[in-house]
Amino acid sequence: MQIGPHELTPYLPGMPILTLAPMAGVGNWVFRLICARLGARMVGVEFINCRTIAEHSRRADRLLDFCDAHIYDQTGISLLAAQIYGNDLDLIAAGAQEFERRGAQIVDINFGCSVPLILRKGCGAAYLLDLDRLYRAVRQTVEAVKVPVIVKTRIGWDQDAINILEVVRRVEDAGAKAIGIHARTVVQKYQGQADWDWIARAREVATIPVLGNGDVFCYEDALRMQAHTGCQAVMIGRAAMANPWIFAGRRGASLRERIELAVEQVRLMGQYKGERTGVMETRKHLALYFKGLPRTSDLRLRILRAEGLNQLVEVLEEWARSLAADEEADLTLSAAEAAALGWGSTG
Ligand SMILES: Cc1cc2nc3c(=O)[nH]c(=O)nc-3n(C[C@H](O)[C@H](O)[C@H](O)COP(=O)(O)O)c2cc1C
């Protein structure tokens, strides 16, 4: 798959190209790097408001920390796609230039967020109601940067207003180099099922690569999505939080591998966000990595209760030492589990 000057290839021959979907509160450099190393060929950044970029605040600086992009430049293992959203076309173009200055290899514009507050402000998926404005946002951004611009969107506003095929045409005309499609309507948010037929139809008319997205809960789902739709890449969101090994085509990982990854993630998150926030924000991943494992409830509690970074690392390392042999367990996440975890308030 070609995105501007970048050629993306599968992690292993015969695999679909898999990418990490942009996720607010999740797609920081630590998690991006983990996914890239495990085989994600493009990694999404949590979306950033174009006004936040202009603020030059500490928060903005942290969101704009693209230190992993330099690693991708040097190693070629992945590409960083930094995502912007907003309602001011000049600020979106200026923000894209800032992304480029900070090393992003790709700029992604969010036309898919269905959060009411964001829609009310004319951001995210609100653009699906005005394709001329959507066209101008893409065009102006394409003209502002040298790196390729891609977009991520949904299939339409609601079941009676599915306009993804028109969106594909408009973003292509405006110069976008790929399109990510979450196969739900805006009104659906995360309910019901993603309708992959629309990804297939979009793929038929598109001259740019289509990244299919929605309801890929395990590697086999990714294979099924590609076979069903012909999409050039499969973009994975929620499943990657529980199972970043999905990018290597795996159902899960041994307990030892999971503990080792958890230790690394906690340590890096401590560096990135400071001890307190770092530990807190890694907990949602840890709860998923160790979900459903037998005989772990006591340990689980200790992990969840550990306050400091060192204490948490100690618990994990002690656990690793106590393992007699690697234990395999299935980390596949069902749709019902994803719903039970309350995901879907963003994006
Ligand atoms: C916690 C969370 C945060 C998200 N944040 C974003 C975001 O910042 N930008 C975006 O385009 N989509 C965002 N999304 C949507 C995902 O990128 C993806 O489209 C959606 O989860 C469907 O894919 P999945 O079934 O593989 O999870 C978010 C989803 C979740 C669960």
pLDDT, tens digit, 9 for 90 and up, residues 252-270 = 888 889 889 999 999 999 9
Q: Ligand 1 center to residue 136 CA distance, Å?
A: 24
Q: What is the mean pLDDT of the chain?
A: 91
> Is-catalytic flag, 231?
no
State the pLDDT confidence band at 344, using cuts at 50, 70 and 90.
very low
- How are beta strands 106-111 and 17-20 bridged, if at all? unpaired
What is the predicted pLDDT for the residue at 269? 93
pTM: 0.93
80: Cβ–Cβ under 8 A, 6 or more apart, which residues?
Answer: 32, 42, 43, 45, 66, 68, 69, 72, 103, 104, 105, 106
Which residue in 212, 171, 219, 167 sits closest to 194, CA to CA? Answer: 212
Query: Top-level CATH class of 16-248?
Result: alpha beta
The SS3 of residue 155 is strand
Query: Above 60 in pLDDT, residue 325?
Result: no
Regarding the beta carbon of 237 and ligand 1, being less than 6 Å apart is answered yes
Say if ligand 1 is within 6 A of residue 282 CB.
Answer: no
Q: Are 110 and 124 in contact (CB under 8 A)?
A: yes
- Residue whose CB lies within 8 A of the most ligand 1 atoms, among 196, 238, 247, 333, for a mutation test: 238
* Better-predicted residue by pLDDT, 198 or 289: 198
- Domain 255-322 sits in CATH at 1.10.1200
Other C-beta atoms lying within 10 Å of the C-beta of residue 306? 19
- Quote the CA–CA distance of 90 and 104 in Å, as a whole number: 19
| Region 44-62 average pLDDT | 93
Q: For ligand 1, say whether the CB of 347 is within 6 Å of any of its atoms.
A: yes
Q: Where are the domains of the chain?
A: 16-248, 255-322
139 or 253: which leads in pLDDT = 139
Q: Are 180 and 235 in contact (CB under 8 A)?
A: yes
CA angle 126, 134, 168 (to 5 degrees): 105
Which of 113, 123, 218, 231 is the catalytic position? 113
Torsion-angle region of 182 (φ positive above 0: left; ψ -120 to 50: alpha; else: beta): beta
Measured from the Cα of 236, ligand 1's closest atom is 26
